[in-house]
Structure 1
Amino acid sequence: MNYLKKVVVVVFCIYFPALAAAQTHPNIMLTKQNIDAVRAGLEKYPLLQDSYKDVLKVADQALASPIQVPVPKDGGGGLTHEQHKVNYQNILACGIAFQLSKEKKYANYVRDILLNYAGQYEKWPYHPKSNPSNPPGKIFWQNLNDCVWQVHVIQGYDLVYDALSSKDKQTIEKHLFLPILKFITVDSYKTFNRIHNHGTWAVAAVGLTGYVLNKPEYVEMALNGSDKKGKSGFLAQINELFSPDGYYTEGFYYQRYAILPFILFAKAIQQYQPQLKIYQYRNGLLQKAVNTALQGTYSNGAFFPINDALKDKTFESEELVYGVDIAYADMGEDKGLLSIAQKQKKVIVSDAGLKVAMDIEAHKATAFTYIPQWIGDGKTGTDGGIGILRNGQDQNQQCLVLKATSQGLGHGHFDRLNILYYDNGAEVFSDYGAARFINIETKGGGGYLPENTTWAKQTIAHNTLVVDQTSAFKANLEEAETHHPDLVTFKNSGAIQVVSAKENNAYPGVQMTRSTALIQVPELKKSLLLDVYKAESVALHQYDLPFWYNGHIVDASFKIQGVTDHLTTLGTKYGYEHLWLNSENDLKTGQGYITILEAHNFYTTTFASTTDLQVKLVSLGANDPEMNLKESKAFILSQPKAANQTFVSITENHGSTDPIAEVISGANSSISAITIIHSDAKQTTITFKIKSKSYTVKINYLDKDNFISIQ
């Protein structure tokens, strides 16, 4: 236990008895002392006003519909699942509407629906659609959703608390909230004490409820675990799941999801126990976590799909609205966050939302700055990390992401040294993300599909090296959790941004180093993407380096001979069984190029190898009887038999099309004559031409301060 954590725990024990005397309602996001100011703000600040109109619309629709509290029976996306989800949204919306409108009808709705739940909850068994892979809930198919429900509902209860009779409050608390607290802390003991996003939602649900119900023993359990010793609970979650840079170990998608319980429970701690100084914990880590979550997005707001991720999520999601509002209003006025709030087009109707809307109206917003950076992983920041290279700020931004993190718990993918590449608002080299149609019950009950394991997590599904058609660590989670990649160097020197990392444990006896750079040269408007992937071994191996692309191949240096009558799979396991081999091309020179047209832009990847190579064109969809897999295509640079192998590629954006005017410009790449002069453990030297000018690039693996040079 670190020193600050000891201080927090000791101070908590000293001051907590004072909570009873300070009990006021409401006292979480919308607080009693600021309600008048928020009401006044509704007349002054358009963003707050529009956000309240949205809340009021939900509340009025709730009042216009009959209350429905069905016996739970459906999986994610089913009728009862969706109804209980709508119910918690209605409860919170009506609570806010009551406080700001002073109309008792909204409080009466919350009272009536909670009494309905209180009359049934204790009779409900575990959910009938639960499965062994996730601890069951009672309201929903997994415990996690029950905790999400409670996080929202307890806020609504807090907002109407003073409008309810003592009898109704006693009934609701005795027959609903106290049984829920028991269910989360006792019946779901392992989840409550788990260091994981499920555990985060659980401790937030219990802690918020403990505060509102004035149950200090539950708040202490939420902070320090069931045994109150600090090995689990909220503080342990902050310690174990975040790096000092604010990176969440499961990846940006789950950082987005987990930020709400982290930030909301911290807000409640600050309201009820400001002397704990939770916002300063671990050097203000929660504020860093919000900023890092935003840095984990492309300039269009989409999160980098690291690990199990659904690619449609952006920073407009509810969780980041909470995060941005609280981080700005309570943790320090970072004016760049105001520009994110403007893009979100909403605020939480609360004290924090008032501050954000007020300062936007006062023209205090500045552009959020996306920066090239290395973001460390692990609780000490030394378990690998994420390298992000960026050129430009807006829609035309180039962005290269190198994933060199630890495994990322059960949601992690076996994709050490994977890259993603974005440009002109689109994915150029993409990641599949997760195989899941969330809350679409007809697709696996809305949960993760079998193909998430057989395909999406496997190494070949990513833009990284596969050895002997086998996934890293043979797709063994426990083994992968014991190792992490290591940073070689990260440099941002203006014309050259470079990140390099190594992985020596994913495949026994194979040392892998990947170095990627964005390089600006005078002849071109956009930076070149240089990628150098080096594998070293004393034994012979097959090396496959896929590039998963969007768009269409429109040119190549070799004649593509596509299969026309009988497709076969590329392999039999580790994801290869899902790939159709569309074309196999032998390049005796070890050099070539492929041009892709994506989002009306041309991208040519010119590549070279230290040996002869094959280029395989593949598409996803084999062994998919339920048609669960989404269309995806890749070209694979493949060396069937080598000990040491270096793949070098340069990707250039060199032109565009206007399909309306039928005008094409810059359809041909300027890059030619790429050659690997030398590659070993110390140095890789390559040459290439841009038009008629020759360039030499040297990568010095043993000199991180002078790692790359170009002349």
Structure 2
Amino acid sequence: MNYLKKLVWALICLFFSLSSFSQEHPSIMLSKQNIGALRKGVQTYALLKKSWKKIKSDADKAILEAIEVPVPKEAGGGKSHEQHKKNYSTMLSCGIAYQISGDQKYAAYVEQMLLKYAAEYEKWPLHPKRKEGHQGGRIFWQSLNDFVWQVYTIQSYDLVHDALSASNRKTIESKLFEPILKFFTVDCAGTFDKIHNHATWDVAAVGMTGYVINKPEYVQMALKGSAKDGKTGYLAQVDQLFSPDGYYTEGPYYQRYALLPFILFAKTINNYQPELKIFQYRDQLLAKAIQTSLQLTYTDGTFFPINDAIKGKTYESSELVYGVDIAYADINASPDLLDIAAKQGEVVVSDAGLKIAKDLSEGRSKPFSYQSQLIKDGASGKEGGLGIFRSGSNEDQQAVVLKAASQGMGHGHFDRLNLLYYDNGVEIFPDYGSARFINIESKKGGDYLPENKTWAKQTIAHNTLTVDQTSNFKANADLAQQTAASVSYFKIDKDLQIFSADENHAYPGVRMNRTTALLKVKELQKPLLIDVFRVNSDKAHQYDLPFWYKGHLVDASPKIKGFTDQLKPLGSKYGYEHIWLNAEQAVPGKSGYLSILNNKRFYTVHFAADAPLSLKLLSLGANDPDLSLLESKAFMLSSTDSKDQLFFSITETHGQTNPVNETTTGASSQVTDLQVTANHPDRASLSFKVKGKTYQYQINYNNKENFIKIN
């Protein structure tokens, strides 16, 4: 335990020997002493004014409608579910509107809403449509949503606290918030003491409520776990769920989601007990986590869809609006965060939002810079990580992600050494993300579909190697959680970015290494994506390496001869049952290429292998009676009855089409003659030509000082 952690624990013990917290409201995102400046700011600073107008508009609409507190009935996306979500959102808007305008009508709306919940809450049993395998909530189908509801609701109560009568405050606290605290800590004890994003929302809700209604014992539980021994609770989650680089183990999508309770509770702690110096904890880890979240997006703002991700989610989400505002105002006023705030187009109407809007208006912003970097995974940073390469401007950037991390707990996928590639504002080699239509009740109530397990999590759904048509760890998440991939080499130079990682646990007796690089050659405008996937075993296996791609296949060698009168599934389990086999043929000379047209640009993937292989063209959709799977296409390099195999590929980005002028330029690839010239235990020698010039490319696996040689 480092010095800062010891200091935090000592301060916690000291402060919880006190009987109560000083009570001043509001005291979370808005503080009483800054209300005057904030009222002036919403009339002065453009971004804050815009955000305030939206809040006020939402509040004005809400107070004109009848208050509805329905008996919980439907699952995610259903009427009662959506109404309760709307209620916490409108209460927060009205709470902010009250503080900015001073108009009692907004506080009265929140008061009446909370009194209705106080009259009904204890009558509700566990939700009738609670999720299978999850703790049910009282208001929602899963307790997680109840925790989220309370995180927002306690903020609204804090905002209107002083406008309520003492008797109504007593009713709301004794009939609503205290029963909620009991439910969250006793009935949901198993969740409360987990190290997991559900628990993060739980402890944040409990801790924030404890501060606001002056229940120190619940704050102590939130920080240190139900046993108050520090083995669980908020601080343990900060310690165990984040790496020193600020990477959240469940992946970018859940990092975004979990950041809000982490950062909001930290803000509450800081406001009530600044002596705890929570924002300094683990070397300003929460600030790192927000910066890392932003680095885990492509330049269009979308998060890399690793693990159980809903694709299309961007840093414009409310979690990152809160995160960016608090990170800038309370932790580290890095000017590049102002650039993100401007792109988000809104701020939280709060002390932090005031500072962001003011500094933006004064021209203090600096362009956000996406970085090529290795982001380590694991509490100590020793469970692999994500290698990210970037090249080009934000308007036309190549981005490569190689996932060589841990399983990522229950939301993890079986995708060791998975590869993603972006260019020209679009996905080239995508990840499927999760199989889920969130909040679409007709699609399994908005929950994860069965195909999330049978397809999206399986290894073959990703751009990585599958052995013997079986997923990593035989799709056993508990087994996969015990080990992680390992980083063997990472280096960023001007003309060469390279990441090499090993995975030796996913298949018994099978050793895998993937070495991926972006190489700038003077003959071409765009760097080449070079990928070398080597696999070794003492026994013969079938090795399948798919490249799921976006776009249209326009050329190939060998020429593709698709099946014209029948399709059949590629296999019977581990995701293979969902794949249609569209074409299959041997690859003469163990090398070939395919050209893809995507967003008016060409991508030619040249490939070569060490052992004989076949080329298979695939599409998704087999064994899908509900037509839930999304359109996806792949080409796959397949090698049967091989002990060792080396898959060598180069993806060249070139040319363009103009459908308006009906012109095409640069459609022909300039890369030729890929060869695997040697594959030894300690090195692999490869060669290729660019416009006739030969390049020798050698990987020295055991020589970190001279890992790559290029001649």
Q: TM-score, normalised by structure 2?
A: 0.99
Task: Tell me which residue corresponds to 1:542.
Answer: 542
Deviation at 1:623, TM superposition (A): 0.5
Q: Which residue is 1:643 aligned to?
A: 643
For residue 111 of structure 1, what is the aligned residue in structure 2? Answer: 111
State the match for 1:587 in structure 2.
Answer: 587
- Counterpart CA distance in 2 for 1:22 and 1:180 is 22
Aligned partners of 1:118 and 1:175 also within 8 Å: yes
Please report how far the alpha carbon of residue 297 of structure 1 lies from its aligned counterpart in structure 2 after TM superposition. Answer: 0.4
**Structure 1 residues 600-609 or 701-710, which shifts more?**
701-710
Aligned residues: 711
Match of 2:159 in 1: 159
- Counterpart of 2:388? 388
CA distance in 1, matches of 2:514, 2:312: 28
Amino acid at match of 1:590: K
1:614 aligned residue: 614
The one-letter amino acid paired with 1:511 is R
Q: Structure 2 counterpart of 1:120, which letter?
A: E
Which residues of 2 match residues 417-456 of structure 1 at below 5 A? 417-456=417-456
Counterpart residue number, 2:170: 170
Q: Root-mean-square deviation (CA), in Å?
A: 0.9
Structure 1 match to 2:297: 297
The AA in structure 2 aligned to 1:539 is K
C-alpha distance in structure 1 between counterparts of 2:661 and 2:427, whole Å: 24
- CA displacement 1:563-607 (0-9 Å, x = unmatched): 111110000000000000000011121100000011111000000
Q: Could you list the per-position Cα deviations for residues 502-523 of structure 1 after superposition, in whole angstroms to 9, with x for gaps in the alignment?
A: 0001011110000000000101
Aligned to 1:332: 332
In 2, Cα distance between equivalents of 1:230 and 1:568:
55
Can you list the C-alpha shifts for 1:615-672, whole angstroms capped at 9, x where unaligned? Answer: 1000000001111110100000000121000000000111111111111111111000
1:69-148 counterparts in 2 under 5 A? 69-148=69-148
Offset at residue 3 of structure 1 (A): 4.6
Amino acid paired to 2:77: G
Partners of 2:706 and 2:175 lie apart in 1 by: 67
Q: CA deviation at 1:340?
A: 0.4
Tell me the distance in 2 between the aligned counterparts of 1:19 and 1:44. 42
2:472 is matched with which residue? 472
1: distance between equivalents of 2:328 and 2:681?
Answer: 47
Q: How far off its partner does 1:45 sit?
A: 0.5
Deviates more, 1:449-458 or 1:14-23: 14-23
CA distance in 1, matches of 2:659, 2:84: 47
Cα shift readout 1:233-284 (whole Å, capped 9, x = no counterpart): 0000000000001000000000000000000000000000000000110111
Could you say which residue in structure 1 is the equivalent of 2:572? 572
Cα distance in 2 for partners of 1:422, 1:19 equals 55
Aligned 8 A contact 2:21 2:214 in 1: no
Letter in 1 for 2:371: I
CA distance, structure 2, for counterparts of residue 696 and residue 360 of structure 1: 50
Instruction: Indicate the residue corresponding to 1:485 in structure 2.
Output: 485
Secondary structure, counterpart of 2:589 in structure 1: coil
- CA deviation vs aligned residue, 1:182-227 (integer Å, no higher than 9, x gap): 0100000010111000000000000000000010000000000001
TM superposition shift of 1:558: 1.5
Residue in 1 that maps onto 2:182: 182
Separation (CA, whole Å) in 1 of partners of 2:4 and 2:409: 26
User: Residues of 2 paired with 1:313 and 1:583: CA distance?
Assistant: 34
Is the CA contact (8 Å cut-off) linking 2:491 and 2:497 kept in structure 1? yes
Q: Secondary structure at the match of 1:170?
A: helix
Q: Which moved more, 1:392-401 or 1:635-644?
A: 392-401
Deviation at 1:557, TM superposition (A): 1.2
Cα deviation, residue 16, structure 1: 3.9
- Secondary structure of 1:589's match? helix
Q: Within 1, Cα distance between the matches of 2:122 and 2:453? A: 36
Residues 459-512 of structure 1, C-alpha deviations (whole Å, 9 max, x = no match): 000000000000000000111011111001000011000001000010111100
Shift of 1:4: 3.2
CA distance in 2: counterparts of 1:107 and 1:271, whole angstroms: 23
In the aligned structure 2, how far is the partner of 1:168 from the partner of 1:630? 51
Q: 1:17 to 1:54 in 2, by over 3 A?
A: farther
Indicate the residue corresponding to 1:666 in structure 2.
Answer: 666
Partners of 2:47 and 2:569 in 1: how far apart?
54
- For the 8 Å contact 1:617–1:635, the answer to whether it is kept is yes
Which amino acid counterpart does residue 188 of structure 1 have in structure 2? C
In structure 1, the residue matched to 2:704 is: 704
| Structure-1 separation of matches of 2:438 and 2:705 | 45
Report the residue type matching 1:349 in the other structure.
V
Q: Secondary structure at the match of 1:42?
A: helix
Question: Which residue matches 1:10?
Answer: 10
Instruction: Write the deviation string for residues 414-438 of structure 1: whole angstroms up to 9, x where unpaired.
Output: 0000000000110000000000000
Instruction: Name the SS of the counterpart of 1:141 in structure 2.
Output: coil
Distance 1:11 1:538 in 2: 57
Give 1:332 deviation, angstroms: 1.1
- Alpha-carbon deviation of 1:17? 5.5
Which structure 2 residues correspond to residues 546-561 of structure 1 after superposition, within 5 A?
A: 546-561=546-561
Describe how 1:303-322 pairs up with structure 2 within 5 A.
Answer: 303-322=303-322
Matched to 2:460, the amino acid is I
Work out whether residues 21 and 216 of structure 2, in 8 Å CA contact, stay in contact via their aligned partners in 1. Answer: no
User: What is the letter of the counterpart of residue 238 of structure 1?
Assistant: V
- The one-letter amino acid of 1:489's match is Y
CA contact (8 A) 1:5 1:235 kept: no
Instruction: Say whether the 8 Å CA contact 1:473–1:507 is kept in structure 2.
Output: yes
For structure 2, the residue ranges without an aligned partner over 5 or more in a row are none
Q: Give TM-score scaled by structure 1 length.
A: 0.99
Mapped partners of 1:307, 1:705: distance in 2: 34
Name 1:208's counterpart in structure 2: 208
In 2, Cα distance between the equivalents of 1:169 and 1:649? 67
Matches within 5 A, 1:665-704: 665-704=665-704
Is it true that 1:341 corresponds to 2:341 in the alignment?
Answer: yes
- For the residue of structure 2 that corresponds to 1:393, the secondary structure is coil
Match of 1:562 in 2: 562
Distance in 2, Cα, partners of 1:129 & 1:694: 64
Structure 1 segment 217-366 matched on structure 2, within 5 A:
217-366=217-366
8 Å CA contact retained: 2:387, 2:401: yes
SS in 1 for 2:619: strand
In the TM superposition, 1:366-405 aligns within 5 A as: 366-405=366-405
Report the Cα distance in structure 2 between the residues aligned to 1:494 and 1:678, rounded to whole angstroms.
Answer: 27
Shift of 1:681: 2.0
C-alpha deviation, 1:312, in angstroms:
1.0
Match of 2:687, SS state, is strand
Mean Cα deviation higher: 554-563 or 223-232: 554-563
1:530 alignment partner in structure 2: 530
- The percent identity for this pair of structures is 59
1:32-71 alignment runs, 5 A limit: 32-71=32-71
State the shift of 1:2 in Å: 5.1
Task: Using the TM superposition, give the Cα deviation of residue 21 of structure 1 relative to its aligned residue in structure 2, in angstroms.
Answer: 5.7
- Asked if 2 retains the 8 angstrom alpha-carbon contact of 1:369 and 1:393, the reply is no
Residue 625 of structure 2 corresponds to 625
- 3-state SS in 2 of match to 1:315: coil
Match of 2:505 in 1: 505
Return the alpha-carbon distance in structure 2 between the equivalents of residues 493 and 663 of structure 1: 36
